[in-house]
Every structure is written in C-alpha cells, then in structure tokens.
C-alpha cells in the first residue's frame, strides 16, 4: 500500500467517524428506542448535511500528491533528477543516467474535476459506512440494554435506567409497566419520552 493510499484510507475513516457521531446525535435526539425507518432517514440526511462543511477538505485528500509534485519540481529546478535526485549529466540527454526517468519538468499541481469527483466518492463511502455503523452500534446498545433489563427483572426489579453508550446521547429506560423507551436530561431531572413519564413516580 502506497503512502497516498494510506493517507486516503485514514481520510475516509476520519470522515466516516464524523458521520457516525453526527448520525448518532440525530438518531438519539429523536428519543426512540430501537430501529425506526423515519428516524433513520432523518439521521442519514442530517449526517449528509454535516458532511457539507467538510467540502473544503477536498484539497486534503490530495495532499500527498501536492507534496510529491512540489518536491519533484524543486529537484528539477536544482538540476537533479526529479525521481532519484541524481545530478543531471550535461551530455546525458533527456534520460536520467541513474534511474532512467525522463528529464522533463514535472507539471505543477492543479485543481481538477477528477479530484472533486474523487472527494465526492470518498464522502459517499464515508456517509454510507458511517451511517450503517452508527445505526448498528445504537441497535447493539439497545439489545444489550434489553438483556440487562431482563436480568434485572429476574432479580425481581421493576425498572432500569442507564446512559446510552457513546456517542449516543441520553438514557435507555425499562419499566415493567411501560416497556422500553428513551429519556433525556441530567441524572437529576430526566425527561421521559414515548411512553409519557410515569405519573406516580415521585409521590411514592
């Protein structure tokens, strides 16, 4: 794997991580428990919207290319082979005596549409992979919570509340009467969603 490909892979992974967090933020703000198609569509669109501010990073994905071209041009100007830095032999013609590279001035780096298309392709991969990973992570967390609640029920308890796993936001709640649902807020003032807050919780 070349340095350029490693750089691009890391670049796509970072974008996918950004999508994962943004998707999770949108999904858990909807206060649902479990997969819901409308919430998933909303979250995936939100993640896409949050990718747009990264468009200027289009230049980043070609940074290794920019660097190598700059280095090659500088070598050529200094009378060295652009590929291997071997000094140019005056009678050597237009072929490097050391490595056989043609001695022509390398083109400077320029923005091209192929670069923009490549970025769009990277963003698309990151968007899809990040969204699927985020939804999968949240579903796995909810499934784990169900298991925890079942274990609590076996111990004779009638409710359970815990934080969602990062980067999920808010709480997962189980109540023997109302089942599974999501909640938001601080540990001291929790706001319950779908189903409504238990009415007699404080009076007892």
Name the residues that contact Zn ion, by CB under 5 A.
81, 83-84, 86, 96, 98-99, 101
Nearer to Zn ion, 18 or 72 (CB): 72
**Closest separation in Å from C-beta 79 to Zn ion:** 12
Shortest distance, CB of residue 1 to Zn ion, whole angstroms? 24
Q: Which residue, chain included where needed, has tokens 């909303």?
A: 42
Q: What's the closest the beta carbon of residue 84 comes to Zn ion, in angstroms?
A: 3
Minimum distance from CB of 104 to Zn ion (Å)? 12
Sheet of strand 159-163, all strands in order from the earlier edge strand to the far edge: 159-163, 171-175, 179-186, 189-192
Cα–Cα distance, 31 to 194 (Å, whole number): 8
Nearer to Zn ion, 16 or 81 (CB): 81
CA separation, residue 147 to residues 133, 173, 181 (Å):
21, 12, 14
Count of C-beta atoms within a 10 Å radius of residue 65 = 13
Q: Which is nearer to Zn ion, 81 or 183 (CB)?
A: 81
- Return the number of the residue (84 or 176) whose C-beta is nearest Zn ion: 84
């Amino acid at each position: 794997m070349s340095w350029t490909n490693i750089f691009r892979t890391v670049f796509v992974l970072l974008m996918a991580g950004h999508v994962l967090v943004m998707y999770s933020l949108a999904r858990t703000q909807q206060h649902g428990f479990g997969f819901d198609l409308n919430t998933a569509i909303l979250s995936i669109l939100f993640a896409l919207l949050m990718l747009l501010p990264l468009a200027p990073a289009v230049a980043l994905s070609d940074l290794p290319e920019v660097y190598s071209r700059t280095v090659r041009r500088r070598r050529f100007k200094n009378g060295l082979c652009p590929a291997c830095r071997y000094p140019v032999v005056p009678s050597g013609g237009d072929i490097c005596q050391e490595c056989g590279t043609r001695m022509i001035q390398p083109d400077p780096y320029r923005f091209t549409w192929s670069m923009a298309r490549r970025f769009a392709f990277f963003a698309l991969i990151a968007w899809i992979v990040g969204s699927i990973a985020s939804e999968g992570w949240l579903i796995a967390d909810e499934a784990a919570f169900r298991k925890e609640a079942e274990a609590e029920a076996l111990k004779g308890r009638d409710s359970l509340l815990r934080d969602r796993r990062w980067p999920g936001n808010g709480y997962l709640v189980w109540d023997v009467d109302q089942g599974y649902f999501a909640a938001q807020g601080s540990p001291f003032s929790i706001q319950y969603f779908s189903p409504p807050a238990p009415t007699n919780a404080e009076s007892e």
